[in-house]
Structure 1
Amino acid sequence: MKFKTNDGLDLYFDIGGKGIPCIFLHGGPGYWSKSFHHYSKVLLEKKLNMIYLDQRGCGRSGHSLRKDYSLNKLVNDIEELRVFLGINEWIVMAHSFGGILAVNYANQYPEQTKGLILSNVTLNMYDSFAHQMKKGSEILRTEIKELSAKSISTFIEDYFSVVVKLMEINQYFNFQYVDVANKRAIDIIDEIGLNSDPDFQGFIFSSEEFFQDFTTLTNQISSPTLVITGAYDDAVGPSHHKLFGFKNSTEVMLASAHHPYIENQSEYKNTIMNFIDSKFSK
């Protein structure tokens, strides 16, 4: 299904399940919602009316000819979809980069945010990428560079130099998966339909607004919040969540890397269902 934004862009979304409305915000940046939808149909849709959105410029959604991928525009798209669907309030669920959109949405639209479910999210890309660079340097047995956030372009250049070297020795995806065979399962799902705009990721990685420390917003959010982390998640950092300061949060660490909905499905499902039952059951 698609809906048209106020600037004329067609955004793709799927809906499935019954229960409390819940919007899912994927990561990447520049990925899509299809692979998560594949797994969550069984895991989440018995108690949640899931809405899976491909962000503008991502997956099956339209590309912005003006390259308008600003944070404000991405957040506004979420609110426009809520209004389009006629939903009064919903749970905002996010994975990885999607966490930045989720906390900004919750901060701007608190009355529409029934709760937050944040799985393996980064709220400070500088901190998460710095963790990857340090971990990568240990694997590569190279000197760890002195990191600086003064120049985003230099920081990203240094980051990708480490990523490329890790990929050359087939080590990079170990940051995301305990068993890299799970990556191949995702690749099969991604074979058809993934048509993200390369300029989307380029915009994010060159924009100061996305490299802000969004953990500072967490102490302003009072909605019930579930924070799921992975003990082996070196994509965002297994301790990254310690920077969060939500007023009303539940934190659960699972035995997984960056994708617990693949690698620890039973515990992932139970954690979310227990949160829903404890916070929102009448």
Structure 2
Amino acid sequence: MLIKTDDEIDLYIEVKGKGIPCIFLHGGPGYWSKSFSETAGSLLEDHMEMIYMDQRGCGRSSSNTKNYSLKRLLKDIDTVRLKLNIDECYLMGHSFGGILAVNYAYYFSQYTKGLILSNVTLNMEASFRHQIKKGSKILDIEQMEVEGNDLMSTFYGIQSELLKRDIYFSLQYKNIKNKTIIDEIDKELMPHPYFQQYILSEEEYFKDFTLLTKEIKKPALILSGLYDDAIGPEHHLSFNFREGINCVLDSGHHPFIETPGEFAQAIIQFCEMKN
């Protein structure tokens, strides 16, 4: 289904399952929700009402805008909540989606039941620095100290060389064969590159959002992967939620692909404990 925003953007939404509502916020930035809904998402639908949302300018949502500010993306989430007549819900973020989930919980706490954060970055600068460090080690090159505007240009240089050698996605997967599962689902994905370009060039998205975690009073489940070099396997240790529960899985950046059973069970147990 499509939900229209007050600035005439069509947001693609799928609602499946039964139970407490949970809005899923995908990563990327600039990806979509289909790869999650067709894998571990289906394992959660007997326990939660899963709401899969493609962010504006991403996947099956419309992209006829250049307004991708954090305030606007948070308003989109609340538009979905209102249109679906939800009083309170969980926010589930993956990767970049964690920035949206945590900010929503901070600014819209009255509508937030709790947070489920899977392999999220809450400090994109720290995560890109980790990728540069790990990529330099893989390429066996000297790691340079980078500052300010040099950060992203250095990252893109490392990424380009890793892609050229067909080893970039080893940063995301414990077992690279698991990438074929997502590749099959993503065959229909039509990228809208402006969204990603905007996010990765705007200073507001490079703030250290780990500082917000200590202000959030809602329960939070933090799922991380032992082999997640996309954001850093220890990135979650910088979070300071008042009611945070850590769960480390034997996976890379996509536990819903690599360890779907354990991933889903951790979420189900968390929700049962908090209800």
**Pairing of 1:1-282 with structure 2 (within 5 A):** 1-65=1-65, 67-148=66-147, 150-151=148-149, 154-192=150-188, 194-280=189-275
Q: Distance in 2 between matches of 1:266 and 1:32?
A: 22
Identity %: 51
Provide TM-score, normalisation by structure 2.
0.98
Verify the 8 A CA contact 2:40 2:257 in the aligned structure 1: no
The DSSP-based 3-state class of the residue aligned with 1:182 is: helix
Displacement, 1:37?
0.3
Displacement, 1:185?
1.5
Q: Distance in 1 between matches of 2:129 and 2:10?
A: 35
Amino acid at match of 1:76: K
Verify the 8 A CA contact 1:25 1:95 in the aligned structure 2: yes
The DSSP-based 3-state class of the residue aligned with 2:52 is: strand
Q: Distance in 1 between matches of 2:261 and 2:190?
A: 31
The DSSP-based 3-state class of the residue aligned with 1:216 is: helix
Verify the 8 A CA contact 1:16 1:41 in the aligned structure 2: no
Verify the 8 A CA contact 2:56 2:63 in the aligned structure 1: yes
Displacement, 1:196?
3.1
- Residues 15-52 of structure 1 show CA distances to partners (whole Å, capped at 9, x for unaligned) of 10000000000000000000100013431111000000
Q: Distance in 1 between matches of 2:191 and 2:167?
A: 25
Q: Distance in 2 between matches of 1:40 and 1:86?
A: 25
Give the count of matched residue pairs.
Answer: 275
When the two chains are superposed, the root-mean-square deviation of aligned CA atoms in Å is: 0.9
Provide TM-score, normalisation by structure 1.
0.96
Verify the 8 A CA contact 2:181 2:257 in the aligned structure 1: no
Q: Which runs of 5+ in 1 are unaligned?
A: none
Verify the 8 A CA contact 2:17 2:49 in the aligned structure 1: yes
Displacement, 1:184?
1.5
Q: Distance in 1 between matches of 2:206 and 2:60?
A: 26
Q: Distance in 2 between matches of 1:157 and 1:82?
A: 38
- Residues 137-175 of structure 1 show CA distances to partners (whole Å, capped at 9, x for unaligned) of 001111101021x32xx2111101000111111211011
Amino acid at match of 1:252: C
Amino acid at match of 2:240: G
Amino acid at match of 2:201: S
Amino acid at match of 1:205: L
Verify the 8 A CA contact 1:60 1:196 in the aligned structure 2: no
